A and B are shown apart, each in its own frame.
Chain A
Amino acid sequence: MSHSTYGIPITWFLTVGALLFCIGLFGLMVRRNAIGMLLSIELLLNAANINFLAFGSYLKLPTITGQVFAIFVITLAAAEAAIGLAILINIYRLELHIDADKITAMKL
């Protein structure tokens, strides 16, 4: 229970975050399409954000730090998505597929 979130226990938010993290983990393991793996990574980052915000707003004196952390996570996730998609487009242009198991361009 909390004063900041109206009768919703913190464990509910943490459970949703944990479930989202595990769904993203599952997606990361079952996909071989590199864009599908990127989608799963976005799920993982958002699960972490839910935890940051939950702990930030459920402290006895709610602090802003959780929100600030989440803002930086969102910033870095946007940069990561831009770079990742650029790399994937380049790989697609070179090899005409984005199967993560078959990309061998940088293997020794």
Chain B
Amino acid sequence: MTVLGFEITGYQLAFVVLAGVTLGSAAMVVLMPNILRAALFLGLTLLGIAGLYVLMNAPFLAAVQVMIYVGAVTTMIILAIFLSHRFMQVGFTQAIYNPVFAFGAAALMFLFLFITVANSVWVKDITAAGPAQTDVGTHAVAYALLQPYVFPFELASVVLLVALVGAVTIAKEDRPDEP
């Protein structure tokens, strides 16, 4: 199809839309003076990234992203904001510090990364469009997690358990009069 005189495929159009949503809301995350709105924009950013995962042939990762990041992490951050309601006031702690210096450093970093990406030689002979030849779907993820990567997989579950118990212990209110 043709958009604004450019010949692009539907996938490219989807990529441009998703990347625009992702980057636009990411910019709002760092610039919003109200921290609650920044957290909500983080949810939108993560949804856009889930869409990008779909474009990269990783539907399982997209579902995981929506469930864990959009569903759990964003909710947890919003709950933490509610638990300490004074963060929500637009005030001193929400201010933007040293924007010029920070923008310069970030732009320099991007320039470095972009020059590296643009000047690298990528494999040119994988041009045929179509679905992936090898299985990279949910079945392959399950096989990979339970066969070659089973030890890190089990280790990750132990890490999660330790982290959750630790989080409860840290956040628990200390009441000295309790038995």
Contact = CB atoms under 8 A, between A and B. Distances in A.
Interface of A: 1-16, 18-27, 29-33, 35-36, 38-40, 42-43, 46, 49-50, 53-54, 56-58, 60-68, 70-72, 74-83, 85-90, 92-93, 96-99
Main secondary structure of the interface of B (DSSP, over half): helix
B44 interface: no
Contact of B145 (A29, A58, A68, A77): A68
23 contacts: A2-B126, A6-B9, A7-B9, A13-B52, A16-B22, A16-B23, A20-B23, A20-B49, A21-B110, A21-B113, A31-B97, A43-B30, A43-B42, A53-B56, A60-B123, A61-B133, A62-B132, A64-B140, A68-B145, A74-B65, A81-B76, A82-B76, A88-B80
Assign chain B's interface to a size class.
Answer: 35 or more
B6 interface: no
A82 B127 contact: no
Given A36-B35, A46-B49, A76-B156, A3 B102 contact: no
A65 B102 CA distance: 34
Given A82-B76, A89-B84, A42 B134 contact: no
Given A43-B30, A76-B159, A85-B80, 12 more contacts: A4-B132, A15-B117, A19-B110, A21-B113, A29-B98, A29-B105, A46-B69, A57-B132, A76-B156, A82-B163, A89-B80, A89-B171
Among B11, B93, B132, which residue has the most Cβ atoms of chain A within 10 A?
A: B93
Contacts, number: 262
Interface of B: 9, 11-12, 15, 19, 22-23, 26-27, 29-30, 35, 38-39, 42, 45-46, 49, 52-53, 55-58, 60-61, 64-65, 68-69, 72-73, 76-77, 80-81, 83-84, 86-87, 92-99, 101-103, 105-107, 109-110, 113-114, 117-118, 122-134, 136, 140-141, 143-145, 149, 152, 156, 159-160, 163-164, 166-168, 170-171, 173
